[in-house]
Structure 1
Amino acid sequence: MTTATSEADRATTARAATTPVKTADSGRPWVSARLRILLWLVVVMAVALVAVAAATRSVLLRDVDHRIDNLLAQEAEEFANLARRGVNPETGQRFTAPKPLLRLFLERQYADPDEELLGLIERADPAPPATLVQFREVRVDHPLADDPRSLTAVFKSPNATGTLHRPQGEIRWAKVEIGASAGHPAAAFVVAFHPEGEQQKAGNIFTMLIAISGVALLMTIGIGWVVAGRILRPVRLVRTTAAQLTEQDLTQRIPVQGRDDIAALAETFNAMLDRLERAFAAQREFVDDAGHELRTPITIVRGHLELMGDDPAEREETVRIVLEELERMSRIVEDLLLLAKAERPDFVSPEPVQLGELTADVFVKARALGEREWNFAGAVDAEVLLDPQRITQAMVQLAQNAVQHTVPGQRVSIGSRARADGIELYVADTGPGVQPQDQEVIFERFRRGTSRRGARATGAGLGLAIVKAIAEGNGGAVELRPTEGGGATFVLVFQGLHELHEPNDLNEGKDMEEAAL
């Protein structure tokens, strides 16, 4: 029945380990990390490229405005200089009429493709001003010279510069006025610039940048997809490996390549798998050993109860055997519960302890375990931070172990001593010692040494495992050392414990032994 139940539990555990776990988020659409990385990369790249293109277009348009302003100012300044200092080549005198001045200036200038140079002479209202145009061809669409209404607006404007918004296109202009004089009407020199061409060039450059950015974005998508896949390959391996893990198969590992964060993640995951594999192996071994240890007394109890007759003496003997086996089972269960509790943070409760008094108390309690030559080997007069109950339990267990492996008359020594980096508590016996093949396994659960002596070996092999758990719970360790002259010495080693006093000398140790006795 026990075996069938165990197999059923293991099958249930295996099915649970391989069944996908449903979470509250399982209904949400799944988006891979690779796609999210690529989307973020595309968004950032697109924003950056658009920002660069927009900034470039803004700079180009500002440069166009600056060049137009400079050109208008330059043309107006040249005409103003001619009007102030110019001489009519026909008369050799300064200009007195605006028309010859405007004609001479226009003949000597060469307009840019988007530029108009005009001379405007006032006529009787409401007729538009008479217009003189540079005699070279004007290479613009819808020139200002063919738009009388716009000419009148510019000529009548009180400003020297301005912008004219027309359905046919925007015009930037500047003018230099010539006041009316005796017999001569008012006139003005106007330079008009059509910015559509320059603005179109800036727009073409912006369009080209957008096209190049689009190509670059497509290349980024392709390269990013490949690179993100290579970077996230170990992550996918982690997910795949985790999905393949079961309680029965923890051998999967992730190949580690490189020395980056992803490689560190793979190494950490592999280390976690190593710990899990060791933990599951130890658990299976622990369960198997515990089942084996408990199966024997159960079999004995059941067998004797099934064969028990009506003879009172036989019934009394059967009851005695059953009670002994139940007592042994009770001790095994208590030891297992203690070892299970060793994994909890409250397993030990450290407090300031006088180590000399603790050692003396352990010695007094151990003397009652058997008729041996008990020796108090000295103690350290120091205050340390330990759990006195657990340390006493471990030391008494070591003393009990020494009694089981010695005979009456052999010496068992108990003491504590200081070392350069901490303290030691020890139990030394003069028994047969521990065989070399047993030294690596005697601290494991349900493991016994090969030097035990028949009926005396009544334990389940948990005593030294409990001692090890207590030592590690108090921040120390347990070591096995040979005893001088033969035997075994088990030492609880605690490093870095704070000592308040210097160690006792030999006489003080003897005084403490006498006080204990």
Structure 2
Amino acid sequence: MTTDPPVSRGSSVPARWRITGWILLATTIALTAVIVTVRSALLADGERRANAELVQEAAEFSAFLAEGVDPTTAQAFTSPDRVLEVYLNRQHPDDDEVLLGLVGADVLQADRPGRGVAAAPYDLAADAGLLAAFTDPAHTFGTTGTPAGPMRWGRVDVGAATARGSLVIAIFTEQRRDETDQVVRLMALVSLGGLLLTLAIGWIAAGRILAPVRALHEVAADIGERDLTVRVPVHGRDDIAAMAETFNAMLDRLEEAYGLQRRFVDDAAHELRTPITVIRGHLELLGDDPAERAHTLRLVDDELARMSRIVSDLLVLARAERPDFVNARPVETTDLMLDIEAKCQALADRSWLLGDIAEGAVTIDGQRVTQAVLQLAANAVQHTADGDEIRMGSRFEGVGDRRRLLLWVSDTGPGVRPEEVEEIFERFHHGSATRAGAGLGLAIVRAIADAHGGRAFVRSTPGEGATFGLDLPAPDDTTEVINA
């Protein structure tokens, strides 16, 4: 049964274009909102100014009625038509304004200097329908449409019922709308240029933002099974830089894991090659003689046991790279040292002497520390004879946060040459003839010390024995030491 590969539901548009598109869309929406708002505000302002002009013209006419006199008689006006005639002769309407005087069936209109009545936006005197609306006593102002565009008008009556006249003030707003549309068109052109500039800036900005992502993609594409050394360049301290640092940290862990795996395989191949060769060679030469077969089987069994121990030690070293290799808990050092000394008694027929014992609690992995000290004891056994003296002990050094726990094993063997001190804790180190075959045991000791944040050490004078030990951090305020 086969399963179809998962179908990608993501967008096929490059991220750079998507970022630029979103920036362009947001800018377009913002500019459109600004243009619509400005147009509405300008139109509303034009209407307000038209109303204000109507009110102002009506106020001026009312003031003229209250204070004006007939210039020919220097007396008050006696008829509405004379009031309207004198007033209209003195007015100079704006281009979008028309002033009409209505007295019965007569229509008076203010002239524009040099242009006459014909220069008005629309000939209201010729429109009977509008004249009827102007004279409707039920309305003194209003808004209506004309062939010249929308118009706002207002009427001020003058005279009594028997001799009645009216001043009609009409203001056309089409020109103001045209001016508003010109401003909007100009804003639209400027906004279009702004959008093009935004497109260019967005494209450049998206490219700079995504540059680390492209670098990450290139690094991921260049990473091979045997090359994990490539890293993403990190610039700045923003989110993209944090992502690059996280990716690099992941590569560090992968490189470390791959290195650990490769070292494990190399170490296993290096150390297992000899016993495998020995076993194969003896099995190929195995004859029919029972004594020879028994000897060969004993040799093969011994080599297989050595191979098993090598693999076990390699697994311990491999686990030492994991964060859970050490499980630290509070441990009473006196009990720990007595327990280790008891276990050492079973290793070999030696004169085991327990020296100083540190007294107090410490937070360590008791089992791993026991494993390390027993390994040091086994190493001492290998380089001493029956009945030889092997000393061990522990003590605290320093106080407070600088307190440390020292555990050591001293033997009377051939010792370690000075040039070997730096290398003796390496994996598969084989020392001089005076102290050969260090193998993996001391490497495990150092791994346990490193996992505790401490170190493994050796002090030796060739021919006078050696002291191997652990120096572990043990911050505390208790520093008592008792002699056993």
1:212 aligns with 190
SS at the partner of 1:55? helix
TM-fit CA distance, 1:317: 0.9
Structure 1 window deviating more from structure 2 (415-424 vs 404-413): it is 404-413
Pairing 1:109–2:81 present: no
Kindly tell me the number of residue pairs found equivalent between the two proteins: 471
Q: Output the amino acid matched with 1:149.
A: G
Which structure 2 residue ranges, 5 or more long, are not aligned? none
Structure 1 window deviating more from structure 2 (393-402 vs 69-78): it is 393-402
Structure 1 window deviating more from structure 2 (400-409 vs 352-361): it is 400-409
1:104-503 equivalences in 2 (<5 Å): 104-123=86-105, 130-136=106-112, 137=116, 139-156=119-136, 158-166=138-146, 168-182=148-162, 184=163, 186-255=164-233, 262=240, 265-266=243-244, 269-270=247-248, 272-342=250-320, 347-406=325-384, 409-420=388-399, 421=401, 422-430=403-411, 431=413, 434=416, 438-439=420-421, 441-444=423-426, 446-451=427-432, 457=437, 461-473=439-451, 475-482=452-459, 487-496=466-475, 502-503=478-479
In 2, Cα distance between equivalents of 1:405 and 1:251: 42
SS at the partner of 1:227? helix
TM-fit CA distance, 1:332: 1.9
Instruction: Give the direction of change, closer, same or farther, for the CA distance of 1:249–1:208 in structure 2 (3 Å limit).
Output: same
TM-fit CA distance, 1:290: 0.6
Kindly indicate whether the alpha-carbon contact (under 8 Å) linking 2:353 and 2:389 is maintained by their aligned counterparts in 1: no
Kindly indicate whether the alpha-carbon contact (under 8 Å) linking 2:158 and 2:166 is maintained by their aligned counterparts in 1: yes
SS at the partner of 1:56? helix
In 2, Cα distance between equivalents of 1:253 and 1:279: 16
Which structure 1 residue ranges, 5 or more long, are not aligned? 1-21, 124-129, 511-517
Query: 1:437-474 CA distances to partner (integer Å, 9 max, x unpaired)?
Result: 55555445x332524657x63x7x3323433444455x
Query: 1:15-43 CA distances to partner (integer Å, 9 max, x unpaired)?
Result: xxxxxxx9735464423221121112111
TM-fit CA distance, 1:311: 1.8
Kindly indicate whether the alpha-carbon contact (under 8 Å) linking 1:372 and 1:411 is maintained by their aligned counterparts in 2: yes
**Equivalent residue in structure 2 for 1:81, among 43, 63, 86:** 63
In 1, Cα distance between equivalents of 2:264 and 2:239: 37
SS at the partner of 2:102? strand
Kindly indicate whether the alpha-carbon contact (under 8 Å) linking 1:395 and 1:427 is maintained by their aligned counterparts in 2: yes
In 1, Cα distance between equivalents of 2:169 and 2:467: 114
TM-fit CA distance, 1:265: 4.7
Instruction: Give the direction of change, closer, same or farther, for the CA distance of 1:71–1:83 in structure 2 (3 Å limit).
Output: same
Kindly indicate whether the alpha-carbon contact (under 8 Å) linking 2:421 and 2:458 is maintained by their aligned counterparts in 1: no
Q: Output the amino acid matched with 1:90.
A: T
1:3 aligns with none
Structure 1 window deviating more from structure 2 (192-201 vs 328-337): it is 328-337
SS at the partner of 1:369? coil
TM-fit CA distance, 1:412: 3.1
In 2, Cα distance between equivalents of 1:404 and 1:23: 60
1:13-28 equivalences in 2 (<5 Å): 24-26=6-8, 28=10
2:81 aligns with 99
TM-fit CA distance, 1:109: 1.3
TM-fit CA distance, 1:483: 5.5
**Equivalent residue in structure 1 for 2:36, among 41, 54, 57:** 54
1:509 aligns with 483
What's the TM-score, normalizing by structure 1?
0.81
Instruction: Give the direction of change, closer, same or farther, for the CA distance of 1:256–1:181 in structure 2 (3 Å limit).
Output: closer
